[in-house]
Amino acid sequence: MQDALGNVQSVLLLGATSDIGQAIVRRLIGARSGTRVVLAARRTVSCESFAEELRSSGTSVELLGFDADEPSSHRAVLDLAASGGDLDVVVSAWGVLGAPQDSLTADPMAAAAVVRTNMVGVVSAGLESARVLRAQGHGTLIHISSVAGERVRRANFVYGASKAGSDAFMQGLADSLVGSGVRVLVVRPGFVRSKMTEGMKAQPFSTTPEKVAEATVRALRKTEVTVWVPGLLRFVFAVFRHLPRAVWRRLPV
């Protein structure tokens, strides 16, 4: 349960090696000690250094195995995370870009794997997270989406479609939870300079994990249900969304 000042007391990070997810956790706990953080990742050894960083500041850290591609395991992971006490915030922060679009076009199985991770896993873990938070009667599920799903580009349409699907799912989940005490916050960043995009050419309106975290925590403390990072992208995509398809295809985006 959040304290009298609205500070988060417990966080579950699903996809604990995510640069964005880690930045959000840092921003949520700030300089306070005593916060409980559960880091869930496919390979827990990969987030050991982050766990030690948190522990050094007085944070209680637990590590759990979590595989987005194994939906049948998600209930046990959420139940185990919740067994240590209520969860104020669950952060859904995993995803894959996959191979370049030309390669995915030639390899439908690889394309399906991208969708499985970015959408199927989100549906399963999202429903399990909502179940746990609803039983508590409070909590927020933060989902890291992407502007790529707002209007899918032919240059990466498999990835964009997977993000569009997961974003739409989270919006529907948010509506279904109205009145339950549980909230869903969808975060739509543009191009983020992180491990995931290392070596790629930065796009217009690019941002950093720290900027995404700052905007996310600011939105969490308000009543927003969707946050764009940077905020200007909300207006850019309001235009993109309504462009005729023939025009959209010609844009260098």
What tens digit of pLDDT does each residue of 223-237 get? 889 999 998 999 999
| 30 or 219, higher pLDDT | 219
Q: What is the pLDDT of residue 192?
A: 86
Mean pLDDT calculated for residue range 54-65: 95
Residue 36 covered by a domain:
yes
pLDDT at residue 215 greater than cutoff 50: yes
pLDDT at residue 3 greater than cutoff 90: no
Residue 1 covered by a domain:
no
Q: What is the pLDDT of residue 251?
A: 80
Residue 223 covered by a domain:
yes
Least confident of 61-75, 81-95, 126-140, 203-217: 203-217
Q: What is the CATH number of the domain that holds 211?
A: 3.40.50.720
Residue 110 covered by a domain:
yes
Q: What is the pLDDT of residue 223?
A: 87
Mean pLDDT calculated for residue range 106-129: 97
Mean pLDDT calculated for residue range 17-38: 91
159 catalytic residue (yes or no): yes
Q: What is the pTM of this model?
A: 0.92
Q: How many domains does the chain have?
A: 1
**Which of the residues 66, 94, 159, 169 is marked catalytic?**
159
pLDDT at residue 252 greater than cutoff 80: no
Quote the domain boundaries for residue 124. Answer: 10-250
pLDDT at residue 142 greater than cutoff 80: yes
Q: What is the pLDDT of residue 253?
A: 67
CA dist., res. 39 & res. 30, Å (int): 17
Residue 3 covered by a domain:
no
